[in-house]
Amino acid sequence: MDTCSFFPFLRTYYNVKTMRHLLLSALLVSQVASLATPADEMAAPPAIYAVIISGGRSRMFNHERYWNDCAFLYSTLRQECDIPKEHITLLMADGDNPANDMLRDGAAGFVSSPTDLDGDGRPDLTLAATRQNVEDVFRRLSMTLTNNDHLFIFITDHGEETVESSQKRGLRRGTVTMPQFTEQGLERAVHLWLWGDEQISPDELAATVGLCHPATMNILLGQCYAGAFVTALEGKGRIITTACAANQMSWSCKERPYDEFVYHWTCAVAQHDEQGQPVGSDSDGDGRVSMAEAYDYARQHDRRPETPGITAQPDGLAYRWTFSNIRTESGIQRNSNLEYQSSTIYDLQGRKQ
């Protein structure tokens, strides 16, 4: 090969090698890209988490009906809503301590709170309802929940109102002033009782649950003076349902050992009562019970002297939020596939109140 023909050959060879290199590089990039998954697809699917709190205060005040409220709701979340055990946190009285911590229905002595709430024969992990444990649970959830997940919080047992001087109230931990009730240098404050005579105020509770930033937060409050907690807790993406107004006590059922409003609310979500008898809570017949429907059903069946309430931001969220299908702006869905398992474990003593 002479010199004149060698250089064109070299140029052609170089171009072919370069093109092969570019093609191989493009193919490799394409294969790597095909293995990569978009961030939205890699993210875990949205889930519902739940926290159930029943402080009890002490065994003299920790009535059996509070355990019944929690057990009925816990079983509903497990059996009807398909929420895994590991997604539900229970903070109830003294937790799994075997000491007698619960006053039996009709003041018939004390027993240790059962740790099997859903009747499957296995103990459910139950933590003591202390301030420290409540704070630890929400701190842990703040590292678990994503902004695609949803959080349901249920609180029952004792709320209390106190009247005291402004100076004394400032020295007490666990109370919050309600200015609309302030008169003649006295202030009326409200708090929630936890186990061991511990207290937590609306502002403190709001700060604690506010550690978490899920897509939505759905809070059901069954204690006395529940309405006084709304202002502190409400916010965008939240539903707050209360058994009574800020200046009212909440009441137990007359004919069964449960609390009136939260019992009917749980019946509405389950679409059956504690004995498995169907109830007509699905007013629009779509097969799901929204939080608005649950509230309407419970309010209509509430026969006690209390005024339930509900607030939601944005407007309409309570009509879209159900445990089987949460319809939010991002179109999140979660469907249940568990059938109801009839059980009568909720009435510990099998007696009428």
* Per-residue model confidence (pLDDT) at position 353: 31
User: Is residue 335 in a domain?
Assistant: no
Residue 35: pLDDT over 50: no
* Per-residue model confidence (pLDDT) at position 116: 96
User: Is residue 347 in a domain?
Assistant: no
* Per-residue model confidence (pLDDT) at position 242: 98
User: Is residue 44 in a domain?
Assistant: no
* Per-residue model confidence (pLDDT) at position 163: 73
* Per-residue model confidence (pLDDT) at position 43: 58
* Per-residue model confidence (pLDDT) at position 226: 96
Note the pLDDT tens digit of each residue in 81-106.
999 999 999 999 999 999 999 999 88
User: Is residue 41 in a domain?
Assistant: no
* Per-residue model confidence (pLDDT) at position 108: 83
Residue 341: pLDDT over 50: no
Overall number of domains in the chain:
1
Residue 202: pLDDT over 90: yes
The predicted model scores a pTM of 0.78
User: Is residue 193 in a domain?
Assistant: yes
Q: List the domain range (segments joined by +) for residue 111.
A: 49-320
User: Is residue 82 in a domain?
Assistant: yes
Of the listed ranges 32-36, 119-123, 138-142, the least confidently predicted one is: 32-36
Q: What is the mean pLDDT of residues 282-290?
A: 94
Tokens 């403190």 belong to residue: 204
Which residues are bridge partners to 238 per DSSP? 217, 313
User: Is residue 27 in a domain?
Assistant: no
CATH of the domain at 171: 3.40.50.1460
Q: What is the mean pLDDT of residues 191-217?
A: 97
Higher-scoring residue by pLDDT: 318, 342: 318
Proportion of the chain above pLDDT 90, given as a percent: 68
Residue 259: pLDDT over 70: yes
